[in-house]
Amino acid sequence: MLENYLPILIFIVVALAVGVVVVSLGFVLGPHRPDAEKCSVYECGFEAFEDSRMKFDVRYYLVAILFIIFDLEIAFLFPWAVVLGKIGMAGFIAMFIFLAILVIGFIYEWKKGALEWE
Amino acid sequence: MLNLWNSFSQDWPTLATLILILLKIVVIMLPLMVLVAYYTYAERKIIGYMQVRIGPNRVGFFGRHAFGLGQPLADAFKLMFKEIVIPTKANRVLFVIAPMLSLGPALAAWAVFPFNEGMALADINAGLLYLLAMTSVGVYGVIIAGWASNSKYALLGAMRSAAQIVSYEIAMGFALVGVLVAAGSLNLSDIVRAQSGSLLHWYWLPLLPLFLIYFISGVAETNRAPFDVAEGESEIVAGFHVDYSGMTFAAFFLGEYANMILVSALTALMFMGGWLSPFQGTPLEPFFAWVPGFVWLVAKTFFFMYLFLWFRATFPRYRYDQIMRLGWKVFIPITIVWILVVGLAVVYQLPWWFD
């Protein structure tokens, strides 16, 4: 069982190594002539007006929260989906109730305008 | 813990197995990198022809033009010899890690991909879960890049793309639940085997809405046109990778194209029967028996890769609020309904879908 995962571990290491090699190749081969202007912040030619790590829209936070909720829902749906053929109608109804509760939450956030952009 | 260690050290892999694994990895990774390089060439060429022009046709090998086939290599070498500018205000470590994080997982996802019957590096039972995990890690690359640059444009672009990727991942996940319900297994090879039959038995037909949603979400996930607001050139320049240059930029680029190939291959695998012949079980079957399964898989993958390019040449860019509306208010309700429909079909063993 476990030995099945060894190739995956090696693959991940190799894939990350490819990323490291690609980037370090650029550092090795490319020139290094930094100057103050070149390394300044790019804001379409202007000097930066203020700190760039500014306040951001709360809707991004909301989307992140909703993502966590729905991702959890998917995590619950996966095992159900795999064994649905075996658990039959009872399993289907149980998951239907779970989905219904989540859909109520979904309708609530929809009506509240959490999904509106603009 | 000690038990785990003992069981592991007993069948500790010999050097020969390790070398074999590494060899297999190279066999997967090398063609993949070549494909990524020539996908950029194909994109420019195909969009060129769609716009009634020729596309790259100058760079060849050793003074010969060769239809411009040297272009990807020339681009790669050009980027290698470019300076990597790290802005003074950027977080240097995160700035360099971000491109690696976006390229690495896009490649690592191929570890569980079955290329033919029994031809996978690791045919694990939780294959689909692993894929979902690997594609999710790519978001970190985007967010870290946007944050580390310490530029307003980069941060805004990163927020936008991260929110978009995350939103469409839900629709994608639900579409996959539909596939799982139909196939009854998380193992990718089992999912393909469950589709055996002619091309009418493949899941694109019984799961048609999920198939469309999966592929469109895949386009949105990879930040491709018409969902490429993050890189809306006229609004926020290049999005989260404005400040990247040289090979760090190339790493993002490679990661994006590797992800596009991955989405195409997965669509082919889960909805188009993977390596199965389209004529299985029909009178035409013996005439195509000589075609290896791998060729069918590649042909199907190339078809979806072509769709990516076709979309880019055809559709105008979505507005950001329209993207979010499509993801949350259209795709998620449709997938939830279709999961229930497929669930009922499986519980009742409806014969015209799942016999």
Q: What ipTM, to 2 d.p.?
A: 0.91
Q: What span, in angstroms and rounded, lies between the C-alpha atoms of B349 and B355?
A: 7
Percent of chain A at pLDDT > 90 equals 50
Shortest Cα distance, chain A CAs vs residue B64, angstroms: 27
For chain B, percent of residues with pLDDT exceeding 70: 93
CA-CA-CA-CA dihedral for B119, B19, B37, B46, to nearest 10: -10
B352 vs A105, residue with greater confidence: A105
**Nearest-angstrom CA–CA distance, B253 and A22:** 12
**How many other β-carbons are positioned within 10 Å of the β-carbon of residue B209?**
16
Task: Assess contact for B143 and B241: CB atoms under 8 A.
Answer: no
Q: Is a pLDDT exceeding 90 seen at residue B14? A: no
Chain B CA closest to residue A44: B237
pLDDT (mean) for B142-168? 86
Specify the DSSP element, H or E, that contains A63: helix A58-112
Q: Which carries the bigger pLDDT value, residue B280 or residue A28?
A: A28
A11, A20, A34: residue with CB nearest B121: A11
pLDDT at B1 over 60: no
- A47 contacts in B (CB within 8 Å)? none
pLDDT band at B355 (very low <50, low <70, confident <90, very high): low
Segment 38-77 of chain A within 8 Å of chain B by CB: 38-44, 48, 52-54, 56-57, 60, 63-64, 66-67, 70-71, 74, 77
Size of interface A-B (CB pairs under 8 A): 218
Rounded Cα distance between B225 and B310, Å, is 10
For the cut 60, the answer to whether the pLDDT of residue B234 exceeds it is no
Searching chain B, which residue's CA lies closest to the CA of residue A12?
Answer: B108
Q: What's residue B114's pLDDT?
A: 92
- CA distance linking residue B226 with residue B216, whole number of Å: 10
| Residues from chain A contacting residue B106 (CB–CB below 8 Å) | 15
| Chain B residues touching residue A41 (CB < 8 angstroms) | 87, 89, 150-151, 243
Q: Where does the pLDDT of residue A92 fall: very low under 50, low under 70, confident under 90, or very high at 90 and above?
A: very high
Average pLDDT over residues A50-72: 85
Kindly state whether A104 is in contact with chain B, defined as any CB-CB distance less than 8 angstroms. Answer: no
Q: Distance between CA atoms of B215 and B199, rounded to whole angstroms?
A: 18
pTM (2 d.p.): 0.92
Q: Which residue of chain A comes nearest to B182, CA vs CA? A: A81
Closest partner CB to B111 (pick from A11, A26, A36): A11
Q: Which helix (H) or strand (E) holds A28?
A: helix A6-29
In this predicted structure, the answer to whether residue B226 has a pLDDT above a threshold of 70 is: yes
Say yes or no for a CB contact (<8 Å) between A74 and B103.
no
Mean pLDDT of chain B: 87
